[in-house]
């Protein structure tokens, strides 16, 4: 047993090493070479793209053009994949024109003028002020790599943020908010300071001694600054650009930039994301905490498995011994009492005639199982591909695109699993079963998503999915997923009913009075604690990635936690199922699904805690959006974990009642 645990632990550590190392680099992504003179092998112009602006204080992202910034006269939008559209990314070209190895200083981009008596100008300026008040962040892209703002934090560490703020605010009571704390000159009360200048530094790796032409970009950083420039001849020095809280005179905002190039051959192109990922906050704590959590979960899993194996082994040996004694010893001997005594010790054998009695609401349970199987396979394949590096941060939107496409193509397993169990439960309304499998849970998710999208449309957010994309999603659902679900259901109903190891009695057995811990609700509530314990650390960083706009890249650990989650859900459900059968409660079908599925309830509670303790979200729209999207995650996680527990318990019950001889 010890040797087996060591082997499993060694495989786990190997998986971490392989997946974590390969997670930084996207296989097949071709590097782009730059040189001072454009040739067939390299290019001179470095295109700077701008993405949506977002904030940790608001769920609503906005397109770059919504703010009154400088725009590109020949604006072009690169093609966006489905994942980028669903996440609200809106990438477009910028007016910042960069040429390789051409250092420039204080280059004017444009000037925006605001008249105090013009309502449109006042509205545009108020929107920029609102963005500064909520700490909205720019997101720029160079060579498919984020332009980062690197600054020193506590303990002399450097943090590289893949975004930089529009500006900052000093409140009427003189309190400097957000980025205003970095400059002592930002001290005037009730004043906004716009970051209208950026110092850009682009680091490249020269290919002179590498066997390839030109140079490859390995880092792009900037430092935002605020200068009150003359609109005709900007100098990029002097006092900061102040925007009064109450505008009383005309205002001119001149945007400028400076750029310099640095050579650094120590940084390889394949590892150019490392300086961003390594500087993520609490990265070292994350590694230690996850490892600690995995060791604890592995230990608990081993304990549960050992208890189950030893207990079941004793039960099976005792029952087999009783059966042999009853054959050898004369009926005149009072052997029936020893048999009854053995049965009273563990009553799971006494319910053999009822344990496979079809459950109530078998239609709904079979539908949940079909959808859960579809989500499980989709999650496994997606995480495996992400672990190999195909869905790294360099490939924007690939993770969501992969998940959606896989879900659409996995309608066949959903229909097959649902039909097989519904037929086993004795159901006859096969049409209703297939339609519910194809439409019920996806319909709930789509209805929630559509309502959230309406709010985004009303708010004018870039995260609002265009009508054409919604039609495309519906086409994928009804044109591909639904027919595949029908095809899977056809093969599922065509198969014979699953054979059970024991016959079911015609008259249901009366269930004795249960203790508090063997009643359904306490058992279900306790069943979700252990699975949640193995995911809550990863859950914190996943929520940070979604709502705090931090990059998530540790797919190796996530895949390992996924495997551990499967083990803990299975073992916790099997353990509680065994206790309930010993208490002669044979209603295990729904209980096995809900026991591990209740982990989703802990997920929701943790999301509520995260909202009030970690986030600074303000506004009714942002709050509704947060909980609306959280409910989608909770539903998907409920189906996922519930299906894992059910299949584990289904295998366990079939196994014990087929091994033990039952008269």
Strand bridging mode 158-161 / 104-114: unpaired
* CA–CA dist 267, 285 (Å, integer): 25
* Better pLDDT: 556 or 613: 613
pLDDT at 156 over 70: no
DSSP-derived letter for residue 481 is I
Render the burial of 274-303: b for 16+ CB within 10 Å, e for the rest.
Answer: ebbbebbeeeeebeebbbebbeebbebbbe
Contact 285, 292 (CB under 8 A): no
CB 11 within 8 A of CB 261: no
What HEC string does 142-153 produce?
ECCEECEEEEEC
Instruction: Check if the beta carbon of residue 621 is closer than 8 Å to that of residue 459.
Output: yes
Tens digits of residue pLDDT in 262-308: 998 888 888 887 777 766 655 555 566 667 667 767 776 777 677 66
In this predicted structure, which of 95-99, 190-194, 582-586 has the lowest mean pLDDT? 582-586
CA distances, 154 to each of 158, 282, 286 (Å): 8, 12, 17
Token pair, residue 9, equals: 């632990």
Of 428, 586, 457, 594, the closest CA to residue 523 belongs to 594
Give the tens place of pLDDT for each residue, 53-63. Answer: 988 888 888 98
**C-beta of residue 34 within 8 angstroms of C-beta of residue 214:** yes
Return d(Cα 379, Cα 360) in angstroms, integer. Answer: 29
Q: What pLDDT is attached to residue 324?
A: 56
Residue 226 and residue 197 in contact, taking contact as beta carbons nearer than 8 Å: yes
Token representation of residue 543: 């929520």
Identify which has the larger pLDDT, 262 or 338. 262
**Mean pLDDT over residues 244-249, rounded?**
81
N-to-C CA span, the chain: 34
pLDDT at residue 99 is higher than 60: yes
Mean pLDDT of 235-245: 86
Q: Which residues pair with 159 in a beta bridge?
A: 151
Cα→Cα distances 539→253, 536, 561, 567, 602, Å: 42, 5, 10, 18, 11
461 phi, psi to nearest 5 deg: -80, 150
The candidate with the shortest Cα–Cα distance to 138, out of 48, 203, 216, 73, is: 48
The pLDDT of residue 344 is above 60: no
| Confidence check: pLDDT of 624 > 60 | yes
Mean pLDDT of 195-200: 92
Q: Is the pLDDT of residue 164 over 70?
A: yes
DSSP structure string for 504-539: PPSSPPPPPPPPGGGSHHHHHHHHTHHHHHTTHHHH
Band (pLDDT 50/70/90 cuts) for residue 166 is: very high
Average pLDDT, the chain: 82
**Helix 430-459 vs helix 411-424: crossing angle, to nearest 10:** 140
**394 pLDDT above the threshold of 80:** no
pLDDT score at 201: 93
pLDDT number for residue 495: 86
**Distances, alpha carbon 506 to alpha carbons 163, 357, 358, 431, in Å:** 68, 9, 12, 28
Q: Where are the domains of the chain?
A: 33-272, 282-314+537-663, 359-496
Give the Cα separation of 518 and 510 in Å (integer).
Answer: 16
For residue 216, give the 3-state DSSP assignment: strand
Measured distance CA(457)–CA(538) in Å, rounded = 32
Q: For 36-80, how does the pLDDT look when each residue is reduced to its tens digit (9 = 90+)?
A: 887 777 889 998 999 989 888 888 889 888 898 988 887 777 777
Would you state the pLDDT for residue 26?
42
Q: Where are the beta strands (DSSP E) in 558-645?
A: none
Query: Across the strands, what pairs with 114?
Result: 251
Higher-confidence position of 600 and 21: 600
Place of tokens 């970009």: 217
Q: Which pLDDT belongs to residue 496? A: 84
Which residues have CB under 8 Å from 227's CB, separation 6+? 196, 197, 234, 235, 236, 237, 238, 239, 240, 241, 256
Q: Which residue has tokens 């199987």?
A: 373
Residue 355 sits at φ, ψ, to 5 deg, of -65, -25
**How far from 124 is each of 191, 457, 577, CA to CA, in Å?**
17, 19, 62
pTM score: 0.84
Give the separation between CA 58 and CA 616, rounded to whole angstroms.
8
**DSSP code, position 238:** S
Helix, strand or coil for residue 328? helix
Query: What confidence category does residue 630 fall into, taking pLDDT thresholds of 50, 70 and 90?
Result: very high
In this predicted model, which residue has the larger pLDDT, 508 or 460?
A: 460
DSSP designation for 77: -
Look up residue 142 and give its two tokens.
């160079």
The reported pLDDT for the residue numbered 396 is 79
């Amino acid at each position: 047993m010890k040797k087996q645990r060591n082997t499993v632990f060694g495989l786990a550590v190997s998986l971490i090493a392989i997946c974590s190392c390969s997670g930084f680099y996207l296989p097949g992504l071709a590097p782009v070479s730059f040189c001072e003179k454009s040739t067939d092998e390299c290019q001179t112009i470095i295109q700077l793209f701008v993405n949506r602006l977002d904030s940790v204080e608001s769920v609503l992202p906005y397109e770059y053009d919504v703010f009154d910034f400088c725009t590109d006269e020949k604006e072009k939008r690169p093609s966006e994949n489905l994942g980028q559209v669903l996440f609200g990314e809106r990438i477009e070209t910028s007016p910042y024109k960069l040429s390789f190895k051409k250092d420039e200083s204080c280059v004017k981009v444009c000037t925006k003028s605001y008249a105090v008596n013009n309502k449109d100008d006042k509205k545009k300026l108020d929107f920029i002020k609102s963005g500064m008040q909520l700490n909205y962040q720019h997101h720029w892209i160079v060579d498919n790599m984020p332009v980062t703002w690197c600054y020193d934090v506590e303990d002399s560490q450097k943090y590289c943020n893949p975004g930089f703020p529009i500006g900052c605010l000093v409140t009427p009571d003189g309190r400097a908010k957000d980025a205003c704390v970095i400059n002592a000159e930002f001290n005037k009360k009730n004043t906004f300071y716009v970051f209208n200048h950026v110092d850009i530094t682009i680091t490249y790796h020269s290919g002179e001694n590498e066997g390839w032409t030109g140079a490859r970009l390995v880092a792009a950083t900037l430092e935002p600054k605020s200068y009150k420039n003359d609109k005709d001849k900007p100098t990029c020095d002097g006092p900061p650009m102040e925007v009064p809280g109450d505008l009383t005179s005309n205002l001119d905002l001149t945007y400028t930039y400076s750029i310099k190039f640095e050579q650094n051959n120590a940084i390889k192109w394949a590892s150019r994301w490392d300086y961003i990922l390594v500087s993520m906050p609490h990265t070292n704590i994350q590694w230690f905490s996850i490892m600690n959590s995995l060791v604890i979960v592995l230990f608990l899993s081993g304990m549960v498995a050992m208890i189950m194996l030893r207990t079941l082994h004793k039960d099976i040996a005792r029952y087999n011994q009783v059966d042999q004694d009853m054959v050898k010893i004369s009926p005149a001997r009072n052997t029936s009492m020893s048999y009854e005594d053995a049965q009273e010790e563990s009553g799971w054998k006494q319910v053999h005639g009822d344990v496979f009695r079809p459950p109530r609401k078998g239609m709904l349970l079979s539908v949940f199982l079909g959808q859960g199987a579809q989500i499980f396979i989709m999650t496994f394949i997606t995480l495996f591909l992400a672990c190999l590096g195909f869905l790294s941060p360099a490939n924007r939107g690939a993770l969501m695109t992969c998940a959606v496409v896989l879900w659409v193509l996995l309608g066949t397993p959903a229909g097959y699993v649902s039909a097989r169990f519904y037929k086993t439960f004795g159901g006859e309304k096969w049409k209703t079963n297939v339609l519910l499998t194809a439409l019920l849970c996806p319909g709930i998710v789509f209805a929630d998503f559509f309502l959230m999208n309406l709010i985004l449309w009303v708010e004018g957010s870039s995260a609002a999915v265009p009508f054409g994309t919604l039609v495309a999603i519906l086409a994928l659902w009804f044109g591909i997923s639904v027919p595949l679900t029908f095809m899977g259901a056809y093969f599922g109903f065509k198969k014979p009913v699953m054979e059970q190891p024991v016959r079911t009695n015609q008259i249901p057995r009366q269930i004795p009075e249960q203790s508090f811990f063997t009643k359904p609700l306490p058992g279900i509530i306790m069943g979700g604690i252990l699975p949640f314990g193995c995911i809550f650390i990863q859950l914190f960083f996943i929520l940070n990635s979604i709502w705090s706009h931090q990059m998530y890249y540790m797919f190796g650990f996530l895949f390992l936690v996924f495997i551990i989650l499967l083990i803990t859900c299975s073992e916790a459900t099997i353990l509680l199922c065994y206790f309930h059968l010993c208490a002669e409660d044979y209603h295990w079908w729904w209980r096995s699904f809900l026991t591990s599925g209740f982990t989703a309830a802990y997920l929701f509670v943790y999301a509520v805690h995260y909202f009030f303790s970690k986030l600074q979200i303000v506004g009714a729209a942002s709050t509704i959006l947060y909980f609306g999207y959280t409910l989608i995650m909770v539903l998907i996680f409920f189906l996922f974990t519930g299906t894992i527990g059910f299949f584990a318990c289904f295998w366990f019950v079939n196994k014990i009642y087929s091994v033990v001889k039952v008269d």
